[in-house]
Amino acid sequence: MLFVVLMGGPGAGKGTQARILQQSLEIPQVASGDLFREHFKNKTALGRLAKQYTDAGELVPDDVTVEMVRERLSRADCAAGAILDGFPRTIPQAKALNQIFAEKDDPVTIVPYIHVDPEILLRRLAGRWTCTKCGHVFHTEFNPPKVSGVCDFDGSPLYQREDDTEETQKRRIEVYFNQTTPLLDFYREENLLFEVDGDQSINEVQRDLIVAIRAVERSYPKTNWS
């Protein structure tokens, strides 16, 4: 099985790359944000539990998030693997993920890190516009829609999040790097981390990701893949 933990700071294009990768690799994108929205919408036991914390303005405990990920990875569409997007965020979460994979007898395959300097991330975030329907993200400078204010994929209007101010995004980037640097070191020590230059076009980043993933895939014994 092929399990990819895709990492990158806010504005690095991680979500966009994960959506493209799932088509190329034919395995699903498992995004932590989508999981929470699904459980909230369906009012599952985990969703109700998580909502108690979010309603109180508190962080959802790791064990709740981990159980959501565990349940998602047990579904039939993850039989050949998955691309994890937004999880793990901390070393305890990474260790919990390792335990999930140990139960499957299949470890994390590779951890591609889309590296972009903080200054560039801030420029990117300041011009982001999101589709109101499909959630596809455009950028006025780096990835503009064909028609201003309209999604290329479904024709829905685009909007800019209220919290996409420079001050808010600068703090968001700082928090990400403070939180994630130890996690990068964790995966580097496990010889799983592969850095990709994120200051390239979407197609060039995707090319580098595919090359890295396929190289690791070829290095595995065939019996490890299904």
Q: What domains can you pick out in the chain, each with its CATH number?
A: 2-117+180-224 (3.40.50.300)
| Residue 163: strand, helix, or coil | coil
With bands split at pLDDT 50, 70 and 90, how would you rate the model's confidence at 224?
very low
pLDDT at 223: 36
- pTM beyond cutoff 0.75: yes
Q: How far apart are CA 130 and CA 115, in angstroms?
A: 22
The chain-wide mean pLDDT, for the chain, equals: 90
Dihedral sign from CA coordinates of 93, 44, 8, 81: positive
With bands split at pLDDT 50, 70 and 90, how would you rate the model's confidence at 220?
low
Above 80 in pLDDT, residue 93? yes
- Side chain identity, residue 49: L
Cis amide linkage into residue 107, ω under 30° from 0: no
Q: Which has the closest alpha carbon to 98: 216, 3, 215? A: 3
pLDDT at 225: 37
User: Which active-site residues does the annotation give?
Assistant: 14, 89, 128, 161, 172
Q: How far apart are CA 199 and CA 121, in angstroms?
A: 9
Q: What is the pLDDT of residues 22-71, one digit of tens each?
A: 999 999 999 999 999 999 999 999 999 999 999 998 889 999 999 999 99
Mean pLDDT over 105-124 rounds to 91
- Counts for the chain of helices (H) and strands (E), in that order: 8, 8
CA 115 → CA 19, 109, 198, distances in Å? Answer: 18, 19, 5
The answer to whether residues 9 and 121 touch, using CB atoms and an 8 Å cutoff, is yes
Beta strands 81-85 and 2-8 are parallel
With bands split at pLDDT 50, 70 and 90, how would you rate the model's confidence at 179?
confident
Q: How far apart are CA 75 and CA 68, in angstroms?
A: 11
Greater confidence (217 vs 160) lies with: 160
Q: What is the pLDDT of residues 119-178, one digit of tens each?
A: 999 988 888 889 999 999 888 887 899 999 999 999 999 998 777 677 888 998 999 999
pLDDT at 219: 67
Residues 4-30 as b or e (16 or more Cβ within 10 Å = b) = bbbbbbbbbbbbbbbbbbbeebebbbb
